[in-house]
């Protein structure tokens, strides 16, 4: 009996070592008083152009669904940040952005996921009224 328990514990530890984060795409909270009519709110961009761990249709799907249910328009932002494209949005969500070097190699130092001009573009966009989350 002790051997079976030890095997089960070992198996559980082995399986948990390879567990992955999974988005809860079934999460659909009720919003009793949405901020906007469906699809009539400001554009919320979710950064997907910097090797992001969280994306609109991936691990941020539940967040994306929640924001949509509040009336916002949610879009994945692919590529580098550009002034003209950012103007279309009101909120920019960046989560777990990575420099391409760190996608496969986590040795230090970890360079910025963003180029200097992108940083300045986002800084100016926020200064002009955009919201960074």
User: Residue 115 CB: number of other CB atoms within 10 A?
Assistant: 13
Task: State the burial class of residue 116 (Cβ atoms within 10 Å of its Cβ: 0-12, 13-18, 19+).
Answer: exposed
Instruction: Sketch the domain layout of the chain as residue ranges.
Output: 2-132
DSSP 21-43: ----TT-----SS-SSSTT-S-E
**pLDDT tops 60 at residue 14:** no
The rounded mean pLDDT for the chain is 87
pLDDT per residue as tens digits for the range 42-56: 999 999 999 998 899
User: pTM for the complete prediction?
Assistant: 0.81
pLDDT per residue as tens digits for the range 16-73: 555 567 777 787 888 999 999 999 999 999 999 999 988 999 889 999 999 999 999 9
């Amino acid at each position: 009996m002790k051997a079976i328990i030890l095997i089960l514990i070992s198996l559980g530890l082995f399986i948990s070592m390879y567990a992955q984060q999974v988005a809860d795409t079934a999460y659909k909270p009720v919003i009793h008083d949405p901020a906007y009519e469906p699809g009539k709110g400001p554009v919320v961009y979710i950064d997907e152009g910097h090797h992001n761990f969280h994306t609109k249709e991936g691990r941020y799907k539940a967040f994306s669904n929640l924001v949509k249910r509040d009336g916002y328009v949610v879009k994945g932002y692919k590529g580098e940040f550009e002034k003209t494209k950012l103007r279309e949005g009101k909120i920019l969500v960046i989560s777990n952005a990575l420099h391409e070097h760190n996608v496969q190699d986590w040795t230090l130092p970890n360079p910025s996921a963003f180029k200097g001009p992108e940083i300045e573009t986002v800084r100016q966009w926020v200064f002009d009224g955009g919201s960074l989350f």
